[in-house]
Amino acid sequence: MIAISRKQRVLEKLVENLKKKHYILTDEGSLSKYLGVDVKSKENGNFEFVQPFFIQRVIDLLGITANHSKCNTRPTPAVKPLLHKDLNGVPRVNPWNYRTAIGMLTYLQGTTRPDISMAVHQCARFSVKPMLSHKKAVKRMGRYLLGTLNRGIVYLPDTKKGLECYVDADFAGSWAKADADNPDNVLSRTGYIVMYAGYPLIWASRMQTEISLSTAESEYIALLTAMRDVLSIM
């Protein structure tokens, strides 16, 4: 457990209350690093969680050079147009393991880099038979991370805020003429983030499990999906 407060007494009271509930606790000291995550203090009591060494491992796996020139970085993680199976595309020929890269990126987006969640998920959908277009999409993420190596999720504590949920949907955004008969291509995408006191708690970007017949329906399905996490937190 990580407990953070501007006042030492608040932390001590938390520990006392948990011990009354028969929890056995040990104090591991001040927070600077945990599980490969570096914690950087910022102004006004804000702090940032970063994973530069793990990101470097991803970049090395993808064979991207460490030259931070503009030609090697990208301003956004996702490609356009959105990915599809690319059945008639060029096969992927690369020494690095596609599934290994997806596994590492999935871990990264779930800890300190929610900004790559959508890009990671759409690449993960094609892990069975990745084509050249899918490989390029993964390498684009690597080049985006190369330019943001030392950035991570920033926590801005605000005790005036309570539980918040932001949710959106992309109606049938993956439809492609090349694979028009595939029902998976007309699934909509759900994206949401749940926050408390300005802290991101849960975020997700995933395909909906049923076919929406309108933009409004896809938005309602996205809201329903998000509310399952909101209600459990409440």
Residue 47 has pLDDT above 60, yes or no: yes
Cα 226 to Cα 99, 155, 190, 210, 220: the distances in Å are 28, 21, 9, 15, 10
* Final residue of a structural domain among 130, 153, 176: 153
The answer on 163 and 73 residing in a single domain is no
Q: Given a cut of 80, is residue 38 above it in pLDDT?
A: yes
HSE at residue 62, side-chain half, CA atoms within 13 A, is 28
Report pLDDT for 155: 86
207 pLDDT higher than 70: yes
pLDDT in tens, 110-167: 999 999 999 999 999 889 889 999 999 999 999 999 999 999 998 888 889 999 999 9
Q: What is the reported pTM? A: 0.83
User: Residue 164 belongs to what H/E stretch?
Assistant: strand 163-170
Q: Is the same domain home to 107 and 169?
A: no
How much is the pLDDT for 231?
Answer: 95
Predicted local confidence at residue 34, as pLDDT = 74
Q: Read off the tokens for 31.
A: 């927070």
> Is residue 196 a contact partner of residue 167, using CB atoms and an 8 Å limit?
no
Domain boundary pick from 135, 153, 171? 153
Boundary residue ending a domain (133, 153, 173): 153
Clarify whether residues 166 and 82 are in a common domain: no
Range of the domain at 170: 158-233
Name the average pLDDT for the chain.
87
Q: Considering only 1-5, 9-13, 74-78, which range has the smallest mean pLDDT?
A: 1-5
Q: Tokens 């030609």 sit at which residue?
A: 71
Q: What is the mean pLDDT of residues 93-121?
A: 92
Q: For residue 46, what pLDDT band results from cuts at 50, 70 and 90? A: confident
Number of domains in the chain: 2
* Residue 141 and residue 63 share a domain: yes
Pair of tokens at residue 176: 């492609």
The pLDDT of residue 84 is: 80
